Amino acid sequence: MMWWCLLLLFCVSSALGYFSPDEVLSLPGLSTTLYFRQWSGYLQASSGKHLHYWFVTSQQNPLKDPVVLWLNGGPGCSSLDGFLSENGPLHVNDDGSTLYINKYSWNKVANVLYLESPVGVGFSYSDDKNYATNDDEVAENNYLALQDFFRKFPNFTRNDFYVIGESYGGIYTPTLSMTIANGPAKINFKGYAVGNGLSSTYFNDQSLVYFGYYHGLFGDTLWSQLNRYCCKDGSCNFFNNSDNNCKDSLKEVFTIIYDSGLNVYSLYMDCAGGIQGNLRFLRDLKNLFHFYQFEVVENTEDSSNLDPPCINGTAQRTWLNRADVRKALHIPENVQSWELCSEVVGENYQRIYSTMQDFYLQLLSKGLRVLVYNGDTDMACNFLGDKWFVQSLNQQKTLDYQPWIYNKQIAGFYEQYGNLTFLTVKGAGHMVPQWAPAQALKMFESFLSNSPY
């Protein structure tokens, strides 16, 4: 009689999360008491694909606050960068030895699920080690992983749910959102947000030339060449122009922005490692001027890491690759070591969509709320391209472009079209929660609670 009773108790309790083997009870390099719970382990996607997740509960009211899925981009970059240096509750110090509390963590107001996707990224892996994938497969696998998440954490199935993605997450997020909205799983899906996202390669490339010129990056020789060779009758095509002189001028634009020593992710910040620092990256992330297939100079001297240009991921890499940290996060020994971005995933990734227009239109028509936000100094996915993208959706404007305020200062600008908001974060680069953390938390809170910015 006793034994099955105990067994039943165990099953019920573990279903409620009492004895979940994924729970993280202590972390190397952390000495403070935490006011939230956390789990790290694997969610199963399609057969043999294991996606690493790290889930933190809200510091306020876990059972009532929304659940938010956070996705970094690339393709091929890890969402643990989001955790450890953007909006996660614990950040890693410079030498990768200790963790400290991020007081602007997004788990102040939400339960946040960080998912390393697709397989091959960070600690995510597949049994067959085949890491070639594409936009549709990623959406499908993220959806399967999400269903596995709600199976593991049934307490959270009734909470409101949102997806938020950054950069190439501009593709991951609407595609996954569509899969959720049309899928059988009972998820209380309310909306999605995209930060410095790739929403349309046309608008992203087209706007970048104006962004560069009007931020003082090109001289008048280049500017008049661009106008002479890429424009006709007052309209310019920088996206897929077949004129060879135009192509040569755009190659110069590309080199200045991506390959000269400027920090493409944050115009007014230094480039880690100086002007050579951006050459460490072995490959282009292929998000800019894709049509022309411009080559990036390779630096064969230092291929010791796969950080994006001008970004220094040493601290995260050092901490995450410690044996005791891997153990605490429940990473099996045979799983690859952690990199900020995976070369094999990036190189073999097949892009299916060049615009998210249809996805946005359908998702808006289902009554979902959508936020498109951009740090306005980023050049990888610049604010103007996303603004033009949002405007191209032709939704009825309900609020004119105007500033929003944080701490008695203008924090940026925004405009609204019913449930669709476009918002800038003034002076922030590509990683908004990292470089404008307080403003980002306020924005996040306003979006979730559907209150004024």
Q: How far is the CB of 365 from ligand NAG (least distance, A)?
A: 7
Q: Which is nearer to ligand NAG, 48 or 452 (CB)?
A: 452
- Structural element, H or E, at residue 439: helix 437-449
Q: Which is nearer to ligand NAG, 185 or 315 (CB)?
A: 315
Q: Which is nearer to ligand NAG, 160 or 343 (CB)?
A: 160
Q: What residues numbered 182-221 form the site for ligand NAG, per CB under 6 A?
A: 202
Q: How far is the CB of 354 from ligand NAG (least distance, A)?
A: 7
Q: Which is nearer to ligand NAG, 196 or 419 (CB)?
A: 419
Within 385-453, strands assigned E span 399-406, 409-417, 420-425
Q: How far is the CB of 57 from ligand NAG (least distance, A)?
A: 6
132-140, 164-172, 309-317, 430-438 -> range binding ligand NAG (CB under 6 A): 309-317
Buried/exposed code over 27-59 (b: 16+ C-beta within 10 A; e: otherwise): bbbeeeebebbbbbbbbbbeeebbbbbbbbbbb
Q: 371 Cβ partners below 8 Å, 6+ apart?
A: 191, 192, 193, 194, 421, 423, 443, 447
Does position 430 bind ligand NAG by CB under 6 A?
no
Three-class secondary structure assignment of 292-314: HCCCCCCCCCCCCCCCCCCCCCH
Does position 239 bind ligand NAG by CB under 6 A?
yes
CA distances from 402 to 88, 173, 418 (A): 29, 26, 15
Does position 158 bind ligand NAG by CB under 6 A?
no
Q: Out of 59, 60, 134, 155, point to the residue binding ligand NAG (CB under 6 A).
A: 155
Does position 312 bind ligand NAG by CB under 6 A?
yes
| 3-class SS of residue 395 | coil
Does position 418 bind ligand NAG by CB under 6 A?
yes
By the 10 Å C-beta count (0-12 exposed, 13-18 middle, 19+ buried), 5 is classed as exposed
69-77, 128-136, 311-319, 378-386 -> range binding ligand NAG (CB under 6 A): 311-319
Residue 425: DSSP 8-state: E
Task: Give me the catalytic one of 167, 199, 266, 342.
Answer: 167
Does position 367 bind ligand NAG by CB under 6 A?
yes
How many Å apart are CA 442 and CA 453, to the nearest integer? 8
| Total number of residues that touch ligand NAG (CB under 6 A) | 19
Verify whether residue 430 is a known catalytic residue.
Answer: yes
Residue 89: DSSP 8-state: S
Q: Looking up tokens 């890693």, which residue turns up?
A: 92
Q: What residues numbered 244-303 form the site for ligand NAG, per CB under 6 A?
A: 272-273, 277
Task: Give me the catalytic one of 22, 259, 284, 378.
Answer: 378
Does position 305 bind ligand NAG by CB under 6 A?
no
For the chain, the maximum distance between any two Cα atoms, rounded to a whole number of angstroms, is 88
Buried/exposed code over 172-198 (b: 16+ C-beta within 10 A; e: otherwise): bbbbbbbbbbebeeebebbbbbbbbbb
Does position 29 bind ligand NAG by CB under 6 A?
no
Does position 159 bind ligand NAG by CB under 6 A?
no
Q: Which is nearer to ligand NAG, 119 or 279 (CB)?
A: 279
Residue 369: DSSP 8-state: E
Q: Out of 34, 231, 282, 315, point to the residue binding ligand NAG (CB under 6 A).
A: 315
User: Angle CA(333)–CA(142)–CA(379) in degrees, nearest 5?
Assistant: 95
Helix axes 244-259, 201-214, angle to 10 degrees: 70
Q: How far is the CB of 95 from ligand NAG (least distance, A)?
A: 6
Does position 419 bind ligand NAG by CB under 6 A?
yes
Does position 16 bind ligand NAG by CB under 6 A?
yes
* Binding site residues, ligand NAG, CB under 6 A: 16-17, 94-95, 153, 155, 202, 239-240, 272-273, 277, 312, 314-315, 367, 369, 418-419
**Which residues are known catalytic residues?**
167, 378, 430
